[in-house]
Structures are given as C-alpha cells and as structure tokens.
Structure 1
Amino acid sequence: MQLDRPSKTPRHVAIIMDGNGRWAGARGLARTAGHRAGVERVREAVRTAHEANIEYLTLFAFSSENWNRPEEEVSDLMGILKYFIRKDLAELHRENVCVKVIGCRQSLKPDIRGLLDEAEDRTRGNTGVTLVIAFNYGSRNELVRATRLIAEAVQAGQLDPCSINEHSLSAFVDTAGIPDPDLVIRTSGEQRLSNFLLWQAAYSEFVFLPCLWPDFDRQAFLNALDEYSRRDRRFGAIPARAERAVGS
C-alpha cells in the first residue's frame, strides 16, 4: 500500500546507516550481530520508501575507509552482502526495485564484483524505487576518479576545458543521472557526513537521529520525512514572503 505523496515528500533520500556495532555492544553481542540486525532495517527502509513514493533511496553500505576495520568484521560484512543479494535480489526484482551500485569496484574481489553487476543487470529495467547502494564508496575518491575521467576526456579532445561547469562535472561522478538527495538521514546521533555524497549533498536537508540503525524502523523513517516536510528549502534564495516584507 502506498501513502499519498505530500507536495514536500523528498524525491531522493540518502541514509548513513550508523550504529550497528554500538547496538550489538549494548546487548553484549559481537559487532557482527549488529550488522546482521541492520539488514532487516534495510528491507524495511526499502518498503517504507515505496510506501512514501520516494523515487531514490541511497544507503551507505560500506565505505572505502571500512577496510581498516578488523579483518574478521570485514569478512563478515562481505558475507552479509553476499547473503543479502542472493536472498533478496529476487524479491527486490519482484517489487520492481531498480538496484544501482556506486563506489569503486576495481579493487573488489571478482565474486563480490560479479554479485554487484548481477544485481544491477537483473533489475535494470525496473521502474519502481531506485535503490542506490554505496559500496566501497568514499566521496573524495569519487571526485578524484571523476577528475581523472574529465582530464582524459580533455586530453582526447572530447571535452573543451572552458565548457566544464557544475552540470558537466556531475556527469562524471558515480551518481550521474540520479538527482541530488533532498534529504540525508544519519542514525546513531553522530552529526557528520563521513565522506558521503560531499558533492551531491550541497543543498540537502539533514536529519540526525539518536537511534542506532537496527532501531531505525518504519515510524522513525516517517518521522524523518515529517521533519523534512517542515523545512523551508531556499537554495540560497530569499523566501518570497521575506522579499514581500522587504518591499513593503
């Protein structure tokens, strides 16, 4: 069942899923238990996005800095990814979800890279929610890769340096063709972007929630959307009511 789409429903929501380890630690469990509990919240977030008529949902699944975590934890995270794709891909496809993966894939092991490619290929034609999975993603690395691609295009005579602007640069980042996020949500109480969508989030609204990711349920998502609906997005302009007040 879909909810009526309010006029201020965000088209694109991005979420930094933070707090799995702390959630597990508070319960005397291994950190990996928190990651596994977080998978169910991923499923619920996709369902809620569909209900709320959100077109794009981007989830920060694994950052380029996460490789610095203990080897056992990284190995378990890779296992969870494999399990999620193998178990949930068919259901996502049935639900008309289109999967897109952003991040650097060159350094990934062939089996992981193959699963990510399969998820994209199988759901490419779907027209429902676009689920963007940020995996082995870091925004600074993304901008470096985009800059290299631009330099190569200029060197090959395919791009005039004088024509480079914000619009053309956006065509070289991982999210090319995807609208910038209207709303960025971060769980766990932390209030920072952590190298996530630095270019794309220039004018995003931010909602920082105290709950840990495994506790981020449907109601928490809807509450964040309600908070967004009360925001006055100006993109650097003066609100019309303020202009009228100045001119009066």
Structure 2
Amino acid sequence: MKPAFPSAASAAPAGGSIGPVPRHVAIIMDGNGRWAKARRLPRVAGHRQGIEAVRRTIRAAGDLGIEALTLYAFSSENWRRPAAEIADLMGLLRHYIKSELNELAREGVRLRIIGDYRKLEPDLVRMLDDAVERTANNTRLTLAIALNYGAQDELLRAARRLMREARAGEVDPDTLDDAAFEARLDTVGLPRLDLLIRTSGEQRLSNFLLWQAAYAELIFTDTLWPDFDREHLVAAIETFGQRERRYGGL
C-alpha cells in the first residue's frame, strides 16, 4: 500500500524551516526514458516509475506549503513520439486518475488541466472533467497538469480570443495590459510562477510556460525524474530562497 498524503496539520516541513517557500512551482518532468534505458528496461517502465515521482512530489508540495504545483505531463510536441509510447502514456494517465482521484479529493488537492486537452480521446476528456469537478472546492494545493500543452499554442489561443473580442467590441486594444492578457491564459487564477525546475540535466524550457516564466527562478538538476523526491524539491526551494529577486529593479 502506498503511503497516504500527509494531513493538512502536518503542513510545516519536518526538521524546521527551509526559508521562503515559493507559492507556485512548475516542473518539467524529464528523464523517464533515460532512467529506463540505463536499467535496460522498456521506456514504459520509466514512465511508470515517473508516476511514483509524481506521487512523492505532490505529497511533498502539500507538506511544504506550496500553493500550486504545475507538472508538464504531455506536450503538444509529444505527439511526434511512437504511437505505442503515446498509448502507454495515455493508459498510465487513465490509471493515475482512477487510482488517485479519491485520495486527491480527500487530501484537499484541487486539480486543474492546462493545455488543449480536449483533443485527447473523449473518454479521457470525460475522466479529466470529472476529476476537475470533484476537486473544484479543495484549497490545500492546486495541482495543474499540462496535457497537450505548448506555450506558443497557449499564447496564440489567447491572442486569437482577444482578436475575436476586439472585433466584437468587447475589448479595446489600446487599453490591453498584462493582467488582461493573463486572464486569457490557461493558468488564469494560479499564483504567479515563482520557481521552475527541470530534471535530467537539460537546460531549456521546451515550450513550457513561456509567459509565466518571465521572472521565475529556473533550476536545472541532473536528477532523472523517476529519482526525484522530497529531498530534491527541498534542495530546489532552498536554492530559490537564496536567490535575490529584483524583477528588473535594483
């Protein structure tokens, strides 16, 4: 039996304070395939172990007092992967929702989906919509899962929406500001992104949260995603706390 989420009463991190905790953390979960290859296992084994890392990270985020956790689960570019691997990933997603939804709801985790996820299989879309509805009133942690997500696509969709609204006379382009644009993004309502982590040693954003990451702290770790755990998250938060964030000022 996998361990349960910590209760809300245990939100303070064990061992004392780790310094300022970011309100919103996003993670590019990279390295499942390399983890499996190093062990001479099929890639799906790496993805399965990656699900365990997701569980650990959600538990740790709730325990540490993070308000929002955004995970890059399936990008709009991932459709270029072999059909068998895509089928494995979607099967794992179905399994995750079925096996974890009750616990997410019980432990106060609110689920959000970002990206053009309605292009997934209809049964999976229904499962996701149901999970979002069931957890909508939870407040302990918001878990945003990026599915069929690409930041450039997100920006284009927001721009197209604004153009339609401008043509209809609902928006004055001359008064458009950052807040109005952000209100058309998938992440509307989430706290400003403070910290973005990428595992596996790669040092690029890979079309993830390009607008939101404008002033986020970026941390790249060589740890492969299936090996990521609470200690890695704490280390990233400690590094975040040592950064001086000036937002362009002095």
Q: TM-score, normalised by structure 1?
A: 0.94
1:2 aligns with 2:15: no
Query: What amino acid is aligned across from residue 231 of structure 2 in structure 1?
Result: Q
**Alpha-carbon distance in structure 2 between the residues aligned to 1:75 and 1:23:** 19
1:55 CA displacement: 0.2
Q: Does 130-139 or 7-16 show the bigger shift?
A: 7-16
2:181 corresponds to 1:169:
yes
2-structure distance, mates of 1:135, 1:176 = 16
C-alpha distance in 1 between matches for 2:113 and 2:223:
26
Aligned counterpart, 1:39: 51
Correspondence for 1:138 among 150, 161, 164: 150
1:48 aligns with 2:57: no
Unpaired stretches in structure 1, ≥5 consecutive residues = 239-248
1: CA distance between counterparts of 2:231 and 2:154? 33
Deviations 1:143-177 (A, max 9, x none): 01001110111111111111111111000010111
2:145 partner SS: strand
CA-to-partner distance for each residue in 1:213-242, whole Å, 9 max, x for gaps? 00001111111111111111110010xxxx
Partner of residue 234, structure 1? 246
Which residue matches 1:198?
210
What residue number does 1:181 align with?
Answer: 193
Q: Distance in 1 between matches of 2:31 and 2:222?
A: 10
Tell me whether 78-87 or 178-187 shows the greater mean CA deviation: 178-187
The offset of 1:180, in angstroms, is 2.2
- Which residue number corresponds to residue 154 of structure 1? 166
CA RMSD of aligned residues (A): 1.0
Aligned partner of 1:242 in structure 2 is none
The DSSP-based 3-state class of the residue aligned with 1:136 is strand
| 1:85-130 deviation line (CA, Å, top 9, x unaligned) | 0100100000010000000033221111111111110000001100
Could you tell me how far apart the structure 1 residues matched to 2:93 and 2:99 are?
10
2:113 is equivalent to residue 101 of structure 1: yes
The letter of the residue matching 1:182 is: D
From the CA coordinates, give the structure whose radius of gyration is larger: 1
**Uncovered stretches (5+) of structure 2, i.e. residues with no partner:** 1-9
Structure 1 stretches of at least 4 aligned residues deviating more than 4 Å after TM superposition:
4-7
Measured in 2, the distance between the counterparts of 1:166 and 1:7 equals 30
Q: Aligned pair 1:70/2:82, yes or no?
A: yes
Of 139, 157, 176, the residue aligned with 1:127 is: 139
Q: Retained in 1: the 8 A contact 2:70–2:146?
A: yes
Point out the more displaced range, 136-145 or 111-120.
111-120
Counterpart check, 1:84 vs 2:93: no
What is the distance in 2 between the residues matched to 1:108 and 1:86?
A: 17
CA distance in 1, matches of 2:18, 2:175: 38
Q: How many aligned positions are there?
A: 238
Output the CA distance in 2 between the equivalents of 1:114 and 1:179.
27
CA distance in 2, matches of 1:176, 1:155: 23
C-alpha spacing 1:234/1:122, structure 2 compared with 1 (3 Å): same
Q: Does the aligned pair in 1 maintain the 2:72–2:145 contact within 8 Å?
A: yes
